Amino acid sequence: MREKIGRITLDYTHYPGEDFYCDGAVEDELLEIVQNHSPQDFPQIIEERAKWPILYHLSALRENIVDWIPMEKDAKVLEIGSGCGAITGKLAQKAGSVTSVDLSKKRCLINAWRHQDCDNVTIHVGNFKDIEPDLPRDFDYICFIGVFEYGQSYIHTDNPYVDWLKMMQGHLKKGGRIIIAIENRLGLKYFAGCSEDHLGSYFSGIEDYAEGAGVRTFVRSRLEQLFQESGLNQYSFYYPYPDYKLMSTLYSDQRLPKQGELHENLRNFDRDRMLLFNEKQAYDGIVRDGLFPVFSNSYLVVIGEEFPVRYVKYSNDRAADYAIRTEICESPQGWVVRKYPLSSKAVTHIRGIETSYQKLSARFAGSGLEINQCRLAENPESADGELGNRQCPYIADRAFIQFEYIEAETLEEVLDRYLEREDVEGFYTLFDEYFKRISWREDMAVADYDLIFANILISWDKRGKRGEEIEKIRKGRWTVIDYEWTFPHQIPAKEIAFRSVYCYLLEDEKRKKLDWERMMKHLGLTSQEADLLKEKEMDFQKKVTGNRMALGEIREAIGNQIIRPGHWLNHLDASAQKQRVQIYEDRGQGYREEESYFIPDAYQGENLIHLVLEVDKEVDTLRIDPAMDCCIVKIKKITLNGSAIKGERRSMITNGKRIGEATYAFDTEDPNINIRLSRLNPQKKNVLDAVLEVVRLPQSIADCICKGKEGLWKIL
């Protein structure tokens, strides 16, 4: 009735003898991975295998949804629907004991193998309704992470969601909490063209599941109604972004997002999606009008006493040395900002921030640029007697850094407003003020490389006429709020300013009205110097991430398409949908789907493509997708400014297999040809001329070609 895998206990008392649901062969693949690899290997495996289920079940980012919860170290936790254990390990690190329940034996085995070193976890295998009567009645936390929406399947009553909540209250100790993470039926991503997460169909949730389903998500007001009907009147809402599955940021009613913050919106990895509008711009309007709680993609609800945490930002898509969590929380002295290490390796990084504060304060004394006060806390009780770093009990050192919380506008917000007004001269006036302050004593051997506009807060008197505004801003309090990337050597101020402008322009296409060439001249940088600084920025990003792929790159590798209906409304036949040419431009930060575009009438007949593209020098790499189907492509000509481009020096890369002179076979519906313009001595403006011959193939034949099956050429 029981089995031990390492130090984990599996309880089969209520297992019916067979699994009633399974995701197929991928679960066997997951089991093989966790049996033969340590969690440290998972990031590389995720990148190499490029499959949504592998990312979904093994990504450490899944743990973010519970990592921030300030659990007591002896807490008793019930995890309902534990699946393959995406959050079980994190709960085991944070709590005294974890009781997990799941119907699938295969998934429970995956969970047990990946967490076999945990001695405080028991996994019950079987139907929840059979296991529930035997569960203890004194849990501190009951977690429904991506499970509450299946209430109809778990609880077979006329009012399953209310009855389930009432049932679980009987297993909660006095003062305990229920944690629910669930999708919002009206999440903005569903309006923008993502299919419903569970059913895979478009607009199902928006249409209130008109076709019927065994799953149901809810809007906030309906969740509140369910809680109240269950007798639960104490609860608080949080808003995971982009959603609860791979959350990077957590907002609350006390700290909602600001305009410009919600720009990571292409984060569905499971299926193709449409792109009906620009989600960032839509979110900016929604945030301005106070409607974000209505359209948040997900909710995280804490039923019970409210936590002091108001905002959380994760930076754990980095190398372990720099993986941290930043949060805003309440203390007896008011709101404070804290940064916690998320690995033992990151403790050194956190400790170094206090030293950075001292050195930067000395450098910028008298400059009009303040450095936000911070102090290092060494143990759980050192921060005003609060829980401190019990959120990270597995880090023996338990150090964290605490900052003063300042409520003010960022310089980025101020500059955005001047661009929106088309007051370019006002923009440059404030930029010059910024540059003057960051240039203060630049000969000193200390520099904050991350002095971007978003990391400077400005407090100023907003009363009075607009004409007086700039002078008031210049005389206001300028404070640097984040300086974790401070280095003990000189960095020229114009290099730091270049990085600020470069990052600023990349984050929002509305900022493109700022003239790049003028800005470079304003900084006194030549085109060659700007190119070198771009390369330096890419090297810095590689250092921070440990050369790991960003989520956007993983999404690209998985290969799901983003479909822009506006580009093919007039081409409804299947052939026309496949014969489309899509162009991507990498300006130093990777390809961005939302900035790609299609070439109308690129096909000159059935099989021939002729492209003439104007490309500016800021494009490092240009990508051509010659079709939306498996195919063979013969490159008849590609020239840049009249000079032929060949594969020398790896200036041209494809994701196909070379099968002849300038001829490639693609066994994917996402074929692409990448031209590294930065290696080809580009000019300020460039003309790329390409002629490609394309023959589409059935998937089976494309597979044979790329795998080199014998006899295929006779067929062709």
What is the per-residue pLDDT for 716?
Answer: 36
What is the per-residue pLDDT for 569?
Answer: 58
Degrees (nearest 5) of the Cα angle 162, 179, 343? 165
Distance CA(92)–CA(56), nearest Å, equals 19
Sketch out the chain's domains with CATH numbers: 2-307 (3.40.50.150), 315-404 (no CATH), 409-546 (1.10.510), 567-715 (no CATH)
Q: What is the mean pLDDT of each run of 10 residues along the chain (716 residues)?
A: 95 91 89 96 95 96 97 97 97 97 96 97 96 97 97 91 97 97 98 94 94 90 98 98 97 96 90 92 96 98 97 95 96 94 93 96 97 82 36 52 95 94 94 97 97 96 84 95 96 97 88 89 94 93 91 89 70 63 89 86 89 90 93 94 76 90 92 90 88 93 78 38
What is the per-residue pLDDT for 381?
Answer: 39
Q: CA-CA distances (angstroms) from residue 8 to 13, 89, 111, 376, 444?
A: 16, 11, 9, 36, 55
Q: Among residues 291, 295, 346, which one has the least CA distance to residue 324? A: 346
Instruction: Say if residues 316 and 298 touch (Cβ distance below 8 Å).
Output: no
Q: Among residues 403, 290, 434, 293, which one has the least CA distance to residue 340? A: 403
Which residues, in sequence order, are CB contacts of 288 under 8 Å at separation 6+? 259
Q: Provide the pairing of β-strand 139-145 with 76-80.
A: parallel
Tokens encoding 51: 């499959």
260: left (phi over 0), alpha (psi -120 to 50) or beta: left
Q: Residue for token digits 């890369």?
A: 653
What is the per-residue pLDDT for 513?
Answer: 83
Could you count the other beta carbons within 10 Å of the beta carbon of residue 212? Answer: 7
What is the per-residue pLDDT for 715?
Answer: 35
Burial class (CB in 10 A: 0-12, 13-18, 19+), 307: middle
What is the per-residue pLDDT for 663?
Answer: 94
pTM metric for this prediction: 0.80
Instruction: Say if residues 581 and 625 touch (Cβ distance below 8 Å).
Output: yes
Q: Residue for token digits 């106070």?
A: 290
User: DSSP characters for 181-226?
Assistant: EEEBTT-HHHHHTPBPTTT--BTTTTTTSTT--S---B-HHHHHHH
What is the per-residue pLDDT for 574?
Answer: 55
3-state secondary structure of 530: helix
What is the per-residue pLDDT for 390?
Answer: 36
Instruction: Say if residues 616 and 661 touch (Cβ distance below 8 Å).
Output: no
316 secondary structure, DSSP code: -
Instruction: Say if residues 653 and 674 touch (Cβ distance below 8 Å).
Output: yes
What is the per-residue pLDDT for 636?
Answer: 94
Distance CA(230)–CA(299), nearest Å, equals 19
Distance CA(315)–CA(324), nearest Å, equals 5
Tokens encoding 634: 């013969």
User: DSSP characters for 533-556?
Assistant: HHHHHHHHHHHHHTTPPPHHHHHH
Instruction: Say if residues 175 and 305 touch (Cβ distance below 8 Å).
Output: yes
3-state secondary structure of 701: helix
Check whether the bond before 242 is cis (ω within 30° of 0): yes
